[in-house]
């Protein structure tokens, strides 16, 4: 639980001694390997920066920073959770709370494609860049690549992602790319989770950058994962999260996907931090069960 005093201390430090955040980042105890041979379990905490604040019927649920930090610190304290993907503000708060030692920390890079905006696919880099990721002693960078064949903003995202993948790879840091085929529906960019579309998107993402040595892919969970991940030889993390009402079915699907050699772990975000039944521990245990923890 993040107490009122702890949250007040974060606010005070940011106002009066902000240099402490950089000091904590430099001295953070890191894991020796990004992939230690076990399936990874990472938490994503970058939705708020893209204006994706809604959880269920509550349109700005993620807008309560203390509540979000409380959930994140609780989940990260679980030894089955390997780390998180987050924007600089979240990473800074968690450093001040001492929650990131021995965890993988991946910096979220492009957050400008705000949910529902007319420029949503033109997803420029407004968060971490490769230089800042290295300076902050992080383990890699994550970027979203939304591919809309009818939106010219896609080309800007392609160029930006290629540059970031190259810079991260040359610095021997992980570049986690999330390729998503999208289409416009009532003004919103919607993900097309059909296998053919995902295979095309994965093929495009895999070819980006002057080096591919450290490229990982994030792929949404679909019914038949084998042909989708068969489009790449790169390591893959699949989207997971709240197992919902039918926990056994969800775990079985995750286990089936994790049997594929490319699939190296599960990512979970707000649906795990704020599950429908309110039981965060149950959701974490379900993912851990699928991972064989």
Query: Average per-residue pLDDT in the chain?
Result: 94
The whole-number pLDDT of residue 133 equals 98
The whole-number pLDDT of residue 200 equals 97
Whether the per-residue pLDDT at 187 is higher than 80: the answer is: no
Could you read off the pLDDT of 58-70 as tens digits, one per residue?
788 899 999 999 9
The whole-number pLDDT of residue 171 equals 96
Q: How far apart are CA 252 and CA 199, in angstroms?
A: 23
Hey, which of 139-143, 146-150, 192-196, 287-291 has the most confident mean pLDDT? 139-143
Q: Read off the pLDDT of each residue in 11-27 and give the average, rounded to a whole number.
A: 98
Whether the per-residue pLDDT at 29 is higher than 80: the answer is: yes
Prediction pTM value? 0.95
pLDDT confidence bin for 242, thresholds 50/70/90: low
Could you read off the pLDDT of 99-136 as tens digits, one per residue?
999 999 999 999 999 998 999 999 999 999 999 999 99
The whole-number pLDDT of residue 249 equals 86
DSSP letter string, 142-198: EEEEEE-TT-THHHHHHHHHHHHHHHHHHTT-EEEEEEEEEEEETTEEEE---HHHH
Q: Name residues whose C-beta falls within 8 Å of residue 149's C-beta, 6 or more positions apart in sequence.
A: none
The whole-number pLDDT of residue 188 equals 82
Q: How far apart are CA 159 and CA 178, in angstroms?
A: 15
* CATH 3.20.20.70 at 4-290, yes or no: yes
Q: How far apart are CA 105 and CA 91, in angstroms?
A: 8
The whole-number pLDDT of residue 202 equals 98
Q: How far apart are CA 93 and CA 113, in angstroms?
A: 23
pLDDT-wise least confident of 16-30, 31-45, 129-143, 246-260: 246-260
Domain ranges for the chain, please list them: 4-290
Could you read off the pLDDT of 69-100 as tens digits, one per residue?
999 999 999 999 999 999 999 999 999 999 99
Residues in the chain: 293
The whole-number pLDDT of residue 68 equals 96
Best CA proximity match to 46, nearest among 94, 14, 3: 94
Q: How far apart are CA 128 and CA 137, in angstroms?
A: 12
Whether the per-residue pLDDT at 245 is higher than 70: the answer is: no
């Amino acid at each position: 639980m993040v107490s009122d005093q702890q949250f007040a201390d974060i606010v005070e430090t940011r106002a009066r001694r902000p240099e402490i955040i950089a000091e904590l980042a430099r001295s953070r105890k890191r894991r020796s390997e990004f992939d230690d041979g076990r399936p990874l379990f990472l938490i994503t905490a970058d939705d708020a920066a893209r204006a994706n604040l809604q959880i269920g019927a509550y349109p700005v649920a993620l807008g309560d920073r203390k509540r979000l930090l409380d959930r994140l610190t609780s989940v990260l304290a679980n030894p089955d959770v390997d780390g998180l993907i987050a924007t600089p503000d979240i990473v800074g708060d968690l450093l001040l709370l001492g929650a990131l030692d021995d965890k993988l920390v991946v910096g979220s890079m492009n957050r400008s494609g705000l949910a529902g905006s007319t420029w949503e696919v033109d997803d420029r880099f407004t968060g971490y860049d490769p230089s800042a990721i290295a300076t902050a002693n992080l383990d890699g960078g994550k970027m979203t690549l939304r591919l809309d064949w009818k939106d010219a903003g896609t080309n800007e995202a392609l160029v930006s992602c290629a540059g970031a993948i190259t810079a991260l790879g040359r610095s021997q840091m992980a570049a986690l790319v999330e390729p998503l085929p999208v289409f416009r529906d009532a003004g919103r960019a919607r993900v097309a989770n059909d296998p053919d579309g995902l295979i095309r998107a994965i093929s495009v993402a895999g070819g980006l950058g002057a080096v591919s040595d450290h490229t990982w892919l994030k792929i949404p969970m679909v019914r038949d994962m084998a042909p989708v991940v068969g489009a790449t030889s790169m390591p893959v993390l699949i989207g997971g999260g709240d197992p919902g009402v039918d926990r056994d079915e969800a775990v079985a699907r995750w286990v089936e996907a994790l049997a594929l050699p490319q699939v190296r772990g599960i990512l979970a975000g707000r649906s795990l931090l704020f599950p429908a039944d309110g039981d965060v521990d149950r959701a974490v245990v379900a993912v851990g069960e699928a991972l064989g923890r």
